[in-house]
Structure 1
Amino acid sequence: MESAILALLGTVVGGIVTVLTSYFLQKQRFEQEVKLKQEDNKTEFMAENTAKHFLSHKSFTDRSFETLRNHLGGFDDDELRKILVRAGAIRVTRDDGSEWWRLLSRMDEYIETKRAKH
């Protein structure tokens, strides 16, 4: 009876160790693959980070597309728009037809700013 319990306990412990080892190896592999993908697409990742930086400025909830295009050179207009969307931004067209962008995460701040002005 004792030998059966020890055998079962050894099997359970071995299974747990195998599962944990497999999990951590897969997690490490996934993290390495993400880093490789980021390195392969470094320009796009950095462009997204730069867009977030400009759109996160304390004083400005919105930035004109022209301003963003000037600071994020090297992309055609539609490619830059895709980068802005991946960064979490939305496009707003003003009454004069100009294109402006703001982070979706800053909508509450934008609304509060509008209320304070009125």
Structure 2
Amino acid sequence: MISEVVVALVSGGVGGAVTVYLARQKLRTEYRAEAAINQLLKHEEFKKRTFEAIKYRLPGFTDDELRKLLIRAGAVRLRSDRDERYGPYAEMWGLVKKNDDAIKKDDGPPALQPDAESDCPTCPWA
């Protein structure tokens, strides 16, 4: 009876220690990813970056996980300018501090209908 209790306590302790270790590893990975995102978005040459460029440099996260990390790092999603090389529908991200002007003039999501000259094959209305 006592040996069964000891085995149960040891098993529970080892299981708990493994759980704590894995949780710490996940948090450490997320913290380092946030720091990398911050460095990418603080780069002096770029005010904003495409989601695809950020995703390329930080593999191993789903799109939604990466968006959550971007928000925790202090980034916001921005509208792409029509004259940018990525097109009007590219998902752009930048730090709030570096994009005050874009945030002030942005009035929300783009209209649900594209204009006549635009072509967006991945849009829901296409």
After TM superposition, the score normalised by the length of structure 1 is 0.57
Change (3 A) 1:38 1:61: farther
**Aligned partner of 2:64: which letter?**
D
The answer for the alignment partner of 1:101 in structure 2 is 93
Unaligned runs of 5+ in 1: 1-36, 112-118
If you compute each CA radius of gyration, which structure gives the higher value, 1 or 2?
A: 1
Q: Determine the C-alpha separation between the residues in 2 that align with 1:62 and 1:89.
A: 9
Change (3 A) 1:71 1:61: same
- Could you say what secondary structure the match of 1:106 adopts? coil
> How far apart are residue 93 of structure 1 and its match?
2.9
Q: Determine the C-alpha separation between the residues in 2 that align with 1:38 and 1:61.
A: 32
Q: How many residues align?
A: 74
Please give the root-mean-square deviation of Cα atoms over the aligned residues, in Å.
1.9
Change (3 A) 1:93 1:105: same
Unaligned runs of 5+ in 2: 1-22, 83-87, 103-126
Q: Determine the C-alpha separation between the residues in 2 that align with 1:88 and 1:48.
A: 9
Check if 1:48 corresponds to 2:40: no
Instruction: Give the alignment of 1:24-103 within 5 angstroms.
Output: 41-94=27-80, 95=82, 96-103=88-95
After TM superposition, the score normalised by the length of structure 2 is 0.53
**Aligned partner of 2:92: which letter?**
W
- Residues 47-97 of structure 1, C-alpha deviations (whole Å, 9 max, x = no match): 000000000000101010000000011000000000000000000132521
> How far apart are residue 105 of structure 1 and its match?
1.6
> How far apart are residue 41 of structure 1 and its match?
0.5
- Could you say what secondary structure the match of 1:41 adopts? helix
Q: Determine the C-alpha separation between the residues in 1 that align with 2:25 and 2:61.
A: 18
